[in-house]
Amino acid sequence: MALLGTLKGFGVTEIFQLISQQMKTGTLVLTSPKANVSIAFEDGVIVGMKSDQWTMDPRAEVLIKGGFIHEKELKIALDNVKKTNTWEDILISQGKLKKTFLLKAANVVIKDILLEIFQWKEGGYRFEDWEVETDSMLTCHIQSESIILNTLRVIDEWPLVKQKIPPVDYCPVTIIPLTEDIVRKNDLSDVDTHIFDLIDESKTIENIIRESLEPPVEALSSIVKLIDAGLVEVFPAGIKDKRDSSIAQKVFFGHLKRVSVFVLLGLCILVIIMVGNPRIMEGYFIPPEIKEYIQTQKEIAGQYAKQEIWLSKLDTNNYALPPSSSPE
């Protein structure tokens, strides 16, 4: 299969889908005013990539910015490179670099390049369907279909995310610790939780992105997601008092919200008691005149008791009219 044409007539997405669906092996060369990129495929899977914009190994640049290796260490390793090894092999053998970090740096580079070329609107393409040569490429193993879907999703969501991104020199601060319930409730991904774990009051957003070894767009999206979920706030670097005040305010309103529930419940119970007029409330709303009359009756009853006069034992006939005299 030979492909040749311009990106105006046949977009990058369609080219990738065609190569993936037909499980082709070969090299796709994409050209534009911005860069020339070559991508190697084996059975439709991306296995290598290179760009004419790379002045050095792009993985090394990512690792240096993230603080995982030092420029001096890289320079020494490059000076000692031989045919049988590479700078990364030297640093790994010396214990100055972990292979995991190298793989994550490669993932950052590749995803960034793919995100860029998927948005090209002008340029040309050429697919050469013969055995690929990846010696001069950054090697990888990425399923084409998955990277197409993921990249298109990022492109679609990015305009909304971009509007919410705080200044990169601000420091994010976590508000509450993560729990399984919070992760599940907010549908947090592994990238989201990884970004959360890197946050402390001394690191700026830019520092966190570099240390995360995640593609910048995905890392920024995670920060925005954490902010929207109320798990993180951001402040200008060094403004600790404002941060503490904000956290205290959130804690206060959280307690106030819980207390208000109990207060409302108490008021509801009180209203029910008043409306129902139970015996426990008897006497609280009796007019003074009636209270005085009741008190008088209690005093009379007390006097009878002292004189051992019991109302229950009185002969009710004593209160009857005297019988009339019988006629003589």
State the sign of the Cα–Cα–Cα–Cα dihedral 95, 64, 218, 20.
negative
Q: Residue 145: what residue type?
A: E
- For residue 257, what pLDDT is reported? 74
Please enumerate in sequence order all residues whose Cβ is within 8 A of that of 131, keeping only pairs 6 or more positions apart, or say none: 25
DSSP 36: E
pLDDT tens digits, one per residue of 77-131: 999 887 678 899 999 999 999 999 999 999 999 999 999 999 998 999 999 888 7
Q: What is the pTM of this model?
A: 0.68
Query: Measuring CA to CA, which residue among 198, 200, 230 is closest to residue 214?
Result: 198
What is the pLDDT at residue 264? 82
Q: Are 65 and 74 in contact (CB under 8 A)?
A: no
Yes or no: say if 123 and 30 are a contact pair by the CB < 8 Å rule: yes
Residue 283 confidence (pLDDT): 53
Q: Give me the pLDDT at residue 276, please.
A: 58
| Segments in the chain below pLDDT 50 | 280, 316, 318-322, 324-328
Burial of 226 (0-12, 13-18, 19+ CB in 10 A): buried
Structure tokens at 99: 């292979």
Phi, psi of 99, rounded to the nearest 5 degrees: -60, -35
pLDDT digits (tens, 9 = 90+) for 64-92: 999 999 999 999 999 988 767 889 999 99
